[in-house]
Amino acid sequence: MTRQERTAWLFTAPVLTIIVLVFILPTLLALALSVTDYSVYALASWSNLSFIGLGNFTALLTTPLFWRALGNTLLFALFGVPMAVGTSLLAALLLNEATVRWKPLWRVALFAPYVTSVVATAVVWRYVLNTRYGLLNYALGAVGIGPVDWLGNPHTAIPAILLFVTWKIFGYNMIVFTAALAAVPADLMEAARLDGASAWERFRHVTLPAIGPTLLLAAVLSIAGFFQLFAEPYVMTMGGPSQSTVTVLYFMFNEGFQWWNLGLASAVALILFVLTLAVTLVQTRLGRRYEWL
């Protein structure tokens, strides 16, 4: 072994060991766990553990709450991703305009929610969304809309949480888009303007192709993020009202750490993983077709 090689192993071995111990090995164990009936009994003694093959997966298929959680998560992603990516792109475009003043200030103000704790911001939003004295209902009342029980009504709980999540993660995508917009070729933009292209045409034919890869990346990351939604519903609604905000990860947490059905919960985690992977693959395909990647 050369001197370089010895040093390289000295430098990489510790972190690689930890990655294997706390990430790779548990992931493989999750595969194993998902085909057992690991529950509170097995937690007491290994002898109560038995292999049940795909039993957990078939059990999930007949669990209404799992389908509910899956549906809720898909709803979150379906509306949340366009909302989160769209608004932040719009903000980045606005901030990119030369006429906007106080740019750094705006950037930091809009980015700040992203770095703060979900729990703390959820507390604030629960207050804003309060039925009787919340600011949102107060504002709506000013334009003649009666009070809405945002977090207490199964139909409005998802939009309310979406509003909160969008506000929270908005800054991250905005910063990424701002950087991508800076790379849009200025001479191409100038040429389009001289040719009399409208603002929309300029966006569609000059900006969009240039920021395409970034847009795709933001979409992929946002979907993964929305699939992993947990803390927001946990803190805001506890999954309620009438289970309208139970997400897949929330379901996993409850099954695993509330009822100690760790086998079943592992199966849920794997389904979540496969779903995320599938969406990512589809998006990469799409991106390739339109030559974005």
Partner 1 sequence: MVTVSFMPRGESSHFPPPFWPSRWSWENYYELLVRRYIDGAWFDYRVLPALWNSLFVAAASTLLGLLLTVPAGYAFAKLEFRGRAALLRALIGSLVIPGQVAMLPLFLMLKQVGLVNSYAGVILPSLAGIFAVLFVRQATLAIPDEMVDAARLDGASEIRIFVSIILPLLAPVTATLSLFMFLGSWNDFLWPLIVLADQHRFTLPVAIAGIGREHAADGELMMAAAVVTTLPVLTVFLALQRYYITGLLGGSVKG
Find the binding residues for partner 1 in span 208-267 (CB under 8 A).
213-214, 217, 224, 227-228, 230-231, 234-235, 238, 249, 252-253, 256-257, 262, 265-266
Select the residue interacting with partner 1 from 54, 61, 90, 108 (CB under 8 A). 108
Nearer to partner 1, 166 or 254 (CB): 254
Q: CA 189, 190, 191, 196 torsion: positive or negative?
A: positive
CB 239 within 8 A of CB 197: no
If you ran DSSP here, which 8-state letter would residue 35 be given? Answer: T
Q: How many residues does the chain have?
A: 293
Eight-state DSSP code of residue 120: H
Q: Tokens 């795909």, residue?
A: 54
> By CB under 8 A, what part of segment 25-54 binds partner 1?
25-27, 29-30, 33
Q: Is 120 in the site for partner 1 (CB under 8 A)?
A: yes
Q: Which position among 57, 63, 126, 152 is part of the footprint of partner 1 (CB under 8 A)?
A: 126
138 to 123, 129, 168, 276, 284: CA distances (angstroms): 18, 10, 22, 39, 44
- Interacting residues with partner 1 between 63 and 102 (CB under 8 A): none
| Amino acid at residue number 194 | L
Residues 6+ apart with CB under 8 A from 222: 80, 81, 84, 85, 169, 173
Distance CA 94, CA 203 (A): 12
> Binding partner 1 by CB under 8 A: which of 87, 280, 283, 284?
280
Task: Point out which span in 8-16, 84-92, 95-103, 155-163 binds partner 1 (CB under 8 A).
Answer: 8-16
Number of residues forming the site for partner 1 (CB under 8 A):
80
Of the candidate residues 158, 162, 175, 223, the single one contacting partner 1 (CB under 8 A): 175
Q: How far is the CB of 197 from partner 1 (least distance, A)?
A: 25
Rounded to the nearest whole angstrom, what is the least distance from the CB of residue 115 to partner 1 in the complex?
Answer: 5
> Do residues 130 and 156 touch, judged by C-beta distance below 8 A?
no
Q: Identify the residue among 96, 156, 276, 283 touching partner 1 (CB under 8 A).
A: 276
19 binds partner 1 per the rule CB under 8 A:
yes
Q: Are 175 and 217 in contact (CB under 8 A)?
A: no
Of residues 228, 223, 225, 230, the one with CA closest to residue 281:
223
User: To the nearest whole angstrom, how small is the minimum distance from the Cβ of residue 10 to partner 1?
Assistant: 8
Q: Rounded to the nearest whole angstrom, what is the least distance from the CB of residue 25 to partner 1 in the complex?
A: 8
In angstroms, the CA 30 to CA 48 distance is: 18
Q: Compute the least distance from the CB of residue 129 to partner 1, in Å.
A: 12
